[in-house]
Structures are given as C-alpha cells and as structure tokens.
Amino acid sequence: MEKKELIRDLTTGSVPKTMLKFALPLFLSGLLQTVYNMVDMIVVGKFVGPEGLAAVSIGGDLLMLLTFVAMGFSNAGQIMIARFVGENRRDKVGMMVGTLFTMLMSAAVIIMIVMLFGYKGLMHWLNTPQASWNMARDYIVTCICGLVFIYGYNLVSAILRGMGDSKHPFMFIAIASVINLILDIVFVAGMGMGPFGAALGTVIGQGFSFLFALSVLYRNRDQYNFDFRPEHFRIYPEVIHPLLSLGIPMVIQSAAITFSMLFVNSYVNSYGVAAVAVTGVARKLESIINIVAQAISSAGGAMIAQALGAGKIERVPMVVKTALWVVFIPASVMAVITIFRPEWLFGLFSSDKEVLTLALTYVPVALIQYTGATLRPANFALINGSGNSKLNLAVALLDGIVCRIGLALLLGVTLNMGIRGFWYGNAISGLVPFAIGSVYLLSGKWKDRASVRTA
C-alpha cells in the first residue's frame, strides 16, 4: 500500500479553514493532555485530600521547569522544518531531525541524572509544605525518571507539526491519556498508591506514547530524508546555527517564564496547603484556554513560517487576525462559567471548605489570565514563525523576569497584598507578549524575514 504523504502545504487555501484544520488536532492533543493532568489532581484530591493535591501541584510545577529545554528547541525545530518545507528543501529537514534527536535526548539524560541528585534543593526552594513533603518527593522522583519519554514525545511531535502533520501528535497524546486515566483509577483509587501512583500512571502512558510516535516517524522516514542509521544521529553543521539562533531565545523564554512562575509560587506555597491547592487547581482551569492558545500559536507559527519561506507575505496578517478571534470564543465561554459557577469548577477538584472559600477570591485573577491567553497566541505565532530570535529573547526577559517577578514582589510584598498580590502580578505579566507583538506587527519588520534564506 502506498504511504500517505505527511508533508502538507499550509500556504494555499483559505487562512481560517487551513488554520482550523491544522489547529484542531493540536487543540484536541492539548485538551487530552490537560485532561489527563487534571485526572491526576481530581483523583488524588478526592482520594488523598488537600495534602495530596498540593503534592501533585508542586510536582507539576517542578516538572515544567525540567522540560524547558525540550519545549524551546522543539518549537524552534518545528519552525525551522516548516521553513525548509516552504522552501522545498527536504534535505535540510532530515538534517534537522538528526540534530534534534541528538541534542534533546542527550539533554534529557543529563537533566534526569542531575535532578535525581538535586530535586530536594528545589523542593525546599518551593517551600513545599511539610504535610505534603513525602508525597511530593515520590511524585517528583517518578516523573524525573520518565523525562526521556517527555522529551522524545515533544521532539517527534514538533517534527511532524513542522511538516504540516498535526493528526499523528493527537494520536500520540490520546494513547497517553487513555493509559493514564486507567492507571490513575487502578493505582490511586484502587490500590491506594497516592501521588506516586498518579505519577507512575503518567510516566507509563508517556512511555507508550513515545514508542508509538517513534514507530510512526520510522515508518515514514523516506519522506524527510532521514534513515535512522546510528551514524546519522549527530549534530549537522548545516542546520545547527539557525536552530541555536532561534532555539536559545525560545529556551530562555520558556525557562524565564517557568522560573518566574516557580519564584512566585514559592511565595504562594508559604501560605499553606490550601493556597497551594487553589493555585494548582486554578492553573489547571486556565490551561483549558491555554491549550486553545497554544494550538493556535503553534498552527499560526507553522503557517507563517511556510508562508515566509514561500514568499507569500500577504497571508501573514490574515493568520494573525484569524488567530485572535479563534481563541476569543472559547475564552469568553470559560470566563462566563468562571464568573457564575466558580464553586462548581473548583469543587471538581476538592470539597475542602477552606480550599473552596479561598478559590472564590481567585475569580478576578482568572479573568485577567483568560485575557492574556486570548491576546498572546497571535503575536507569538508571528514572532516565532518569522524566526525573530532577538524579539523572542526580549519577550522572555520582560515577561518572564522583569514583569512577572517584579509585579509579584511589588504587589505581594511592597504593597502588602499577600497571596492576591502574587496572583495578580503573575496574571498581569501575561499581557506583555501582546504589547510587544503588536508593535512588531504594525512595524512591518517581519516582512524582511521572507527574504532571509535559512542556509
């Protein structure tokens, strides 16, 4: 049977139709990932209590910090592959595949080894409540051991998305979600293994997902000029410079945002188990909008990269405009639910009265978070899709360090607003990428990227 072509041209046809068709599997992938992350918290919250919920929340925060290298270079690799596809240079696609595998899998092993010796220091820095310490430790160590699977899934999915294939990454995450759901019920609810069982189910699901992803990539290896021979898993000089040029600012951006969020959370965690639980649940609820935002940002970035590679600059503003209204619709729905049914939303995760009472004060903060999630993806798509590494770095430093940490300390410490100050500081900083991206769009500087060859 003839193999189906994975590489897809994103530079033709209606922009809204192309974006929605490409973004839908990405959205479903993000939705499933969010669901199986929520399942961990819901099952642990119901069967273990607030202490277990806090442990999973802190463990999830730390895991985010460990994946910034994968996220940054995977996103950069996706943009570069999309650019090569637009320029019809498939030989460079194969070189990028070999380079990404070599870099990211090596990084995963190194980070895993380092963190197995250093995780306790980070737990202290995050002010892990003593009541949740042992459970958080078990959750964190288990997830660290599965880091290779997370990195592997991210790099394979990025390769396929850069080629215009968003359906297979959806299938990968669907496998992980189903396995995680089943194992959460068995390990946590059935066997009473607590957060350790939740983490074990997650790692096993991610392992199966990565192996399936790898098999898909191997079966279609002829389409992107990479034969999976051991000698071809290496760093190719022809593509490493543009990858580092774009990837390092993306890594810094991911690290800066994650570090600043952890910095803020280290203060939040000092307010006790209920504060940790509310913050963790709130982030899961906000992630429902963020998965739409990330899907549109990823789809828009790939479309813009291919359009600039093919010299079709007239499509770029249309992609940005479409990205804005697509995210606005679900964000508005989520805002209405949060305003009128906050007890029901937070009650899905915990029935603890202290948690639910504190959760009601988070509603105005959530609305600011939704606004930022609506406005960011269009401009991130433009910045990333055009390969503007300097602007990426500026966003990283302003959003991740200056504004997020600065506003949190100003409101939470200087103005003595307490936990609400840290919440508001974190939320308001999320508007920074929109401001920077809007100036970039109106300036027209992105048009110059169409003539730059990624040699």
The most confident of the ranges 36-45, 100-109, 114-123, 413-422 is 100-109
Q: What is the C-alpha separation between 91 and 89, in angstroms, rounded?
A: 5
Range of the domain at 431: 15-442
Residue 446 has pLDDT above 60, yes or no: yes
Cβ neighbours for 265, distance < 8 A, ≥ 6 positions apart: 58, 61, 126, 279
119 occurs within a structural domain: yes
Cα-Cα-Cα-Cα dihedral sign, residues 159, 162, 167, 172: positive
Report the percentage of the chain scoring pLDDT > 70: 95
Q: Share the mean pLDDT of the chain.
A: 81
Q: What is the C-alpha separation between 96 and 76, in angstroms, rounded?
A: 10
The most confident of the ranges 102-116, 236-250, 266-280, 367-381 is 102-116
Nearest to 435 by CA among 386, 372, 385: 372
Residue 109 has pLDDT above 90, yes or no: yes
- Is 91 within 8 Å of 292 (Cβ atoms)? no
Which of the four pLDDT bands, split at 50, 70 and 90, describes residue 4? low
Question: Per-residue pLDDT tens for 392-441?
Answer: 778 777 876 778 888 888 888 888 888 888 888 888 888 888 888 888 88
**What is the secondary structure of 53-101 as a DSSP string?**
HHHHHHHHHHHHHHTHHHHHHHHHHHHHHHHHHHTT-HHHHHHHHHHHH
Residue 167 has pLDDT above 50, yes or no: yes
Q: Which residue has the tokens 């504060």?
A: 275
| Per-residue 3-state assignment (H helix, E strand, C coil) for 282-322 | HHHHHHHHHHHHHHHHHHHHHHHHHHHHCCCCCHHHHHHHH
- Is 73 within 8 Å of 239 (Cβ atoms)? no
pLDDT number for residue 1: 36
Number of domains composing the chain? 1
pLDDT number for residue 9: 65
Which of the four pLDDT bands, split at 50, 70 and 90, describes residue 2? very low
- What average pLDDT does the segment 149-159 reach? 86
Cα-Cα-Cα-Cα dihedral sign, residues 167, 168, 169, 174: positive
pLDDT number for residue 178: 84
pLDDT number for residue 386: 82
- Is 278 within 8 Å of 358 (Cβ atoms)? yes
83 occurs within a structural domain: yes
**Residue 228, phi-psi category: left (phi > 0), alpha (psi -120 to 50), beta (remainder):** left
Cβ neighbours for 118, distance < 8 A, ≥ 6 positions apart: none
pLDDT number for residue 106: 92
Q: From residue 335, give the alpha-carbon distance in Å to each of 67, 105, 296, 426.
A: 29, 39, 19, 18
Q: What is the C-alpha separation between 334 and 370, in angstroms, rounded?
A: 8
Nearest to 403 by CA among 430, 380, 421: 430
Cα-Cα-Cα-Cα dihedral sign, residues 18, 22, 23, 25: positive
163 occurs within a structural domain: yes
Residue 453 has pLDDT above 70, yes or no: no
Cα-Cα-Cα-Cα dihedral sign, residues 63, 65, 70, 74: positive
Residue 113 has pLDDT above 80, yes or no: yes
309 occurs within a structural domain: yes
Q: What is the C-alpha separation between 162 and 144, in angstroms, rounded?
A: 27
121 occurs within a structural domain: yes
- What average pLDDT does the segment 68-96 reach? 82
In 318-420 the beta strands, taken as DSSP E runs, fall at none
| Per-residue 3-state assignment (H helix, E strand, C coil) for 423-451 | HHHHHHHCCHHHHHHHHHHHHCHHHHHHH
For residue 258, what are its two tokens?
């994650």
- What average pLDDT does the segment 187-211 reach? 87
Q: What is the C-alpha separation between 31 and 351, in angstroms, rounded?
A: 24
How many angstroms separate the most distant Cα atoms in the chain? 68
Ranges 4-8, 16-20, 194-198, 375-379: which has the least confidence: 4-8
Which of the four pLDDT bands, split at 50, 70 and 90, describes residue 112? very high
62 occurs within a structural domain: yes
452 occurs within a structural domain: no
Which H helix or E strand runs over 218? Answer: helix 194-219
Question: Per-residue pLDDT tens for 286-318?
Answer: 777 877 887 888 788 878 887 887 778 888 888
3-class DSSP state of 364: helix
Question: Per-residue pLDDT tens for 223-237?
Answer: 777 778 888 888 888
Tell me how far the alpha carbon of residue 390 is from its chain's centroid: 21
Identify residue 300 by its one-letter amino acid code. G
Beta-carbon count within 10 A of 230 CB: 6
Residue 25 has pLDDT above 80, yes or no: no
Q: What is the C-alpha separation between 157 and 6, in angstroms, rounded?
A: 12
Question: Per-residue pLDDT tens for 131-142?
Answer: 888 888 998 999
47 occurs within a structural domain: yes
**CA atoms lying within 13 Å on the CB side of residue 141:** 12
Q: What is the C-alpha separation between 338 and 22, in angstroms, rounded?
A: 29
